[in-house]
Amino acid sequence: MAGKTKVTISDVARTAGVSNSAVSYALNGKPGVSEDTREKVLKVAEQMGWKPNMAAKALSDASTRTVGLVIEVDSEVLSVESYFMELIAGLGDALEDYDYSLLVRIVSDSQNAMRIHRNWIATGSVDAMLVMNVEVGDPRIDFYKEHSAMPVLAIADPSVTHGLPSMTSDDAEGARMIVNYLHELGHTHIARVAGPERYAHTFIRDRAFMEESASLGMTCDCLHSDYSPEQGRDMTNRLFAFSDSPTAIVYDNDVMAIAALHVAAERGLSVPDDISIMSWDDSFACTATTPGITALWRDIPRLGAKAVPMLMDLIEGNTVENAMESPYELVQRGSTGAPKIVGE
């Protein structure tokens, strides 16, 4: 401490026994801390002789020309999952037109994710936030409702965003497309290997799959995974372990569907004669396998590009209406066909 003359936020935080972000909220009059904490911080700051750094304040009040995105996902899944890379590519291209940058943080749990959200608001690190993989009862939604000054766009169904502007895909219609396609091929027992149950889009897809299957007199099994190829293999083996196993399986991403092709081959099963395999998200990888994988296609880079003008409008303080992504299209390839008739 020798030679140090200026009291910093970190000094106040240590003395008050709170985090740096809590001190920043309190000193800048922002919501996010209790009144008791705010009073404690203000009192400690006054006693220590804290003075605001006007240069830093000027910087924090200025535009950063940056949009923030916190991705909560296991790094091993991110390394093979095409959706995130396609989305970031679309965002990056469109943000360049506005001379904006994309600040991405990758975390593995919700606690760290919320810490970053709080810090970015407290420090003014970004001009707007993009929120994805929204959960049922997601704490981020309530957090941004409390911090309404921060422009936020959610990639989620409006039913779970509590009024925050959203960009959404018609997941229920996508599920119905898949079920009807398999029904037309003659399948009566299908299965779905879905993503984590906590995600709102997983719940919407699950419900639509079950409702549409029931309406057509089909049986539909459902298992949940973490999107990794390892769990794709595990869930496929579980489904094959039953004597009454499905004749078609739909996976929530391409890497799990590819893993299923390998499981089928190891078991001596022919695709699609013995088992039909589908992927929810299409990608180049679905065309590079033998057979190619039938999939739902949507223009994910365009999703990113379409989100950027909405974010710019929010930054300008304009009202933004909810928007819909490009519709799903079913791309048929060699991995799906009519089920084998028992006794053949």
Non-local CB neighbours of 299 within 8 Å, separated by 6+ positions: 325, 326
145 and 193 share a domain? no
Task: Report if residue 235 sits inside a domain.
Answer: yes
> Could you tell me which of 20, 7, 115, 113 has the C-alpha nearest to residue 69?
113
Q: Do 184 and 257 have their domain in common? A: yes
Number of domains within the chain:
3
Q: What is the CATH number of the domain that holds 19?
A: 1.10.260.40
Report yes or no: 335 and 271 within 8 Å, Cβ to Cβ: yes
Tokens representing 191 are 């299965």
Q: What is the pTM of this model?
A: 0.81
Q: What is the CATH number of the domain that holds 104?
A: 3.40.50.2300
Nearest Cα residue to 144 out of 135, 132, 152: 152
pLDDT of residue 54: 52
Do residue 303 and residue 158 come from a single domain?
yes
- pLDDT at position 4 is 45
**99 and 184 part of one domain:** no
Cα distances from 290 to residues 33, 85, 216, 235, 293, in angstroms, run 56, 24, 31, 21, 8
Task: Tell me the one-letter amino acid at 17.
Answer: G
Residue 341 lies in a domain: no
Do 183 and 100 fall within a single domain?
Answer: no
- 338 located within any domain: no
Task: Give pLDDT, residue 324.
Answer: 93
Whether 282 and 308 map to the same domain: the answer is no
Instruction: Residue 97: give the domain boundaries.
Output: 64-167+298-326
Residue 46 shares a structural domain with residue 136: no
Q: Which residues pair with 191 in a beta bridge?
A: 221, 249
- Domain membership of residue 69 (yes or no) is yes
Residue 305 falls inside a structural domain: yes
Whether residue 119 is found in the same domain as residue 223? no
pLDDT of res. 78: 81
Residues 158 and 303 reside in one and the same domain: yes
For 151, residues 6+ apart whose C-beta sits below 8 A from its C-beta are 127, 128, 129, 311, 314, 315
Whether residues 273 and 306 share a domain: the answer is no
59 lies in a domain?
A: no
pLDDT < 50 positions in the chain: 1-5, 344
pLDDT value of position 3: 41
Claim to verify: residue 208 and residue 118 sit in the same structural domain: no
Is residue 344 in some structural domain?
no
Residue-level pLDDT at 96: 93
Residues 159 and 305 in one domain: yes
CB 193 within 8 A of CB 251: yes
